[in-house]
Structure 1
C-alpha cells in the first residue's frame, strides 16, 4: 500500500488522485457505499474507473454506464476554484470528522468558505419554513447562545427556522448545507445570507456537482449531511409530515441526540416536535439544556465503520459464476435484507457476493439501505 494514510492527517490525495475520485463519484450509479466497495476492491479510483464498464455489463441488464470524463471533472474543479471553493475527499484532514463516522458518508464534498469550521463541535437546527415569529425568535436565541458556548451551527439555508439559526450564529460559526450545487443558492432570497456565512469564516457545503438544481429527492440527502455533521439536532416547529422529522429520524439512526422544542397542541407547526418528545426526544426550553447535554460529548473520538483505503494492490480474488449471480437475484426482492443474511442464505462466498452486488448496483438494479441492507429494483 502507498503512504496515503497517516495517523494524524488521514488520507492525502495528489491532484491526479483527486481528479479520479471526482470522476468516480460523478459516474452513473456510484453512490457512497458503491464508491467504498470499488476503492476497497480495486485499490484506487483510477483502477475502479477502468473496471466500471465490464462490471455493469456482467449484470446483463443491457444498460451501459455513463462514466464522468476527465475533462468534466477537471472543469468542475476549475469552476469551483474560481468560486474560491475546493473539493474535500473522505478521510482528508479537513473532512468533517463527525460526518465521516456515519454509515456511508459522501466520498467527496464541495466546500466554499473556511473548512476549519468542520473541526468545531456542531449543533444542527431544523424546523418549519413557515415558522412563527416566536419560533424564529427562539431559534435565534438558541443558536446565538449555543454559539457563544463554543458550538458551531449547521442547517440547510431554508426559509424560516434554518435561516434564523444561520443569522444568529454568523459571528460564532455556521455551516449551510445545500441540496443542489454550492453555486446554486436556494432559495434565492437567502443569497446574501450565504455570502455573509462565507465572509465570516463559515462554510457552505454540498455533495452534488456544480450547477445541480435541487430536486425533491435531493433534500433528504442534504438533511443526512446536516444531521451527520452535528453532535445533536434541534427541532423547532415542525409539522407531523415534514423534512425536519426525516432529519430527526436520520439523526437518531446515526446515534445523534435529538432535541425538540414543545409547542401548543393547537398549532400544526408544533405537531411534529411534540410527537418527537413523546417518542423520546430530549425536551428543551433553553440553550442551556442543549449545552449541558452535549458538553460531555465535546471532542469525542467518533469511530467510523466505513473503511476506505486507497493504495496500489491486486484486486481481491473474486470470480462469481452465472449460477451464483442467478441465486443472488432469486434471493432478493423489494424488502431490504442484511448482506450477512444473504451470505448465509445463498452460500455464496463473501468476496463473490460483494462483487455481484457491485455489478447489480452499477447496472441500476440494486438499492442500498442503512445498516448494510440491500433490495432489488
Structure 2
C-alpha cells in the first residue's frame, strides 16, 4: 500500500480543531471530500453474538444513506464494522493505533482487511510514522482522532474499564453525538455501555435511531399486507431470538408444519436464522 504524508493544509480540519490537534498525518488510499456523515463504530474486542448481530443489523439499515463507517481496525467490533461496511458497499475509513506500513500495522491479522479498505475506495489514517509499532499509549492517542473525525460515535458493547470508554468521553468533550447500544445487566461486555446510558448517552435500538441522530429524514416502511395468519402467529411468538424447538413448543401446529412454515418465512425475508436461533428481520 502506498503511504503519503499529508501537507498540513490538507489535514482534515476536524482533526485540527481539538485541544490536541494532529500535527502530522499519514494516509493510505483516497481521502473523500464528500458530504457524507462520519459514523464511528467501536466496541469490545471480545464481543458477544448479540453484539455481532446488532452491529450487522444496524449497518444493513444504514445502506443507501451517505454515511462513512469509521473504526480502528482492532479485533472484535472494529473489524466487524469494517467488514460489514465493505459487504454492503459503504465507504469505510480506519484509524489504526500504529503506523501504516505492513510491517508495523496493528493487528497483523488485519493486513488484508486494510488492503480491502483501500481497494474499495476507503483509506487509512495515522499520525504515527509508517514504521511505528503500536504501544499501550498509542491507542488512546488514536481514539481522540477518531472521535474528532466523527459526526457521531456508536458504541456496541464495552467492558467497565474498556478503552472504548475513552473514545466515548472524547466524543462528549468534542460535542459529538454519543450513541450506545444497551445490553444485558448480566453481561460483562455491557457494563460499560449501560453505564454510558446512565450518564446520558443516547440509547440505540435500531438503525433508525442512528439515522435520526445523524440528521436524516427517515421514512417509515409500509406494513406488509401479504402475511398469513399462521405467519402472524410465528412473528408474535418471536419477541426475542428463539430456537426451532422453542418455537415448536409455543405453537399448536404439528412440528412438520412449523418447520415448513419457518422455511417459507425465511425465504420470504420475514425471519432469519443465525447460530440456530430465529429472529424477525
Question: TM-score by structure 1 length?
Answer: 0.54
Q: Tell me if 1:252 matches 2:172.
A: yes
Match of 1:224 in 2: 144
Contact persistence 1:147–1:153 (CA under 8 A): no
Give CA deviations for 1:131-159 in whole Å, capped at 9, x if unaligned: 01221121122234335321101110111
Of residues 108-117 and 212-221 in structure 1, the stretch that sits farther from structure 2 once superposed is 108-117
Report the Cα distance in structure 2 between the residues aligned to 1:96 and 1:137, rounded to whole angstroms. Answer: 33
Match of 2:81 in 1: 165
Corresponding residue to 1:132 among 48, 55, 61: 48
Structure 2 CA distance for partners of 1:201 and 1:250, relative to 1, 3 Å? same
RMSD (Å) for aligned C-alpha atoms: 1.7
Report the Cα distance in structure 1 between the residues aligned to 2:209 and 2:8, rounded to whole angstroms. Answer: 32
Report the Cα distance in structure 1 between the residues aligned to 2:34 and 2:112, rounded to whole angstroms. Answer: 22
For the residue of structure 1 that corresponds to 2:214, the secondary structure is: helix
Contact persistence 1:277–1:283 (CA under 8 A): yes
Give CA deviations for 1:7-54 in whole Å, capped at 9, x if unaligned: xxxxxxxxxxxxxxxxxxxxxxxxxxxxxxxxxxxxxxxxxxxxxxxx
Q: Tell me if 1:185 matches 2:105.
A: yes
Report the Cα distance in structure 2 between the residues aligned to 1:192 and 1:97, rounded to whole angstroms. Answer: 29
Match of 1:26 in 2: none
Structure showing the higher helix proportion among its residues:
1
Report the Cα distance in structure 1 between the residues aligned to 2:12 and 2:49, rounded to whole angstroms. Answer: 33
Report the Cα distance in structure 2 between the residues aligned to 1:117 and 1:135, rounded to whole angstroms. Answer: 31
Structure 2 CA distance for partners of 1:135 and 1:257, relative to 1, 3 Å? same
Match of 1:201 in 2: 121
1:249 positional shift: 0.3
Match of 1:113 in 2: 29
Structure 2 CA distance for partners of 1:225 and 1:154, relative to 1, 3 Å? same
Contact persistence 1:141–1:168 (CA under 8 A): no
Q: Tell me if 1:284 matches 2:204.
A: yes
Corresponding residue to 1:153 among 69, 78, 84: 69
Report the Cα distance in structure 1 between the residues aligned to 2:6 and 2:61, rounded to whole angstroms. Answer: 30
Match of 1:62 in 2: none
Corresponding residue to 1:174 among 86, 92, 95: 92
What are the residue-to-residue correspondences of 1:308-323 with 2, within 5 Å? Answer: none
What is the aligned residue count? Answer: 213
For the residue of structure 1 that corresponds to 2:93, the secondary structure is: strand
Corresponding residue to 1:293 among 213, 219, 238: 213
Contact persistence 2:39–2:152 (CA under 8 A): yes
Contact persistence 2:30–2:118 (CA under 8 A): yes
Report the Cα distance in structure 1 between the residues aligned to 2:135 and 2:51, rounded to whole angstroms. Answer: 27
Structure 2, unmatched stretches of 5+, are 217-281
Give CA deviations for 1:279-314 in whole Å, capped at 9, x if unaligned: 000000111101111126xxxxxxxxxxxxxxxxxx
Contact persistence 2:35–2:66 (CA under 8 A): no
Give CA deviations for 1:259-278 in whole Å, capped at 9, x if unaligned: 10000000010000000000
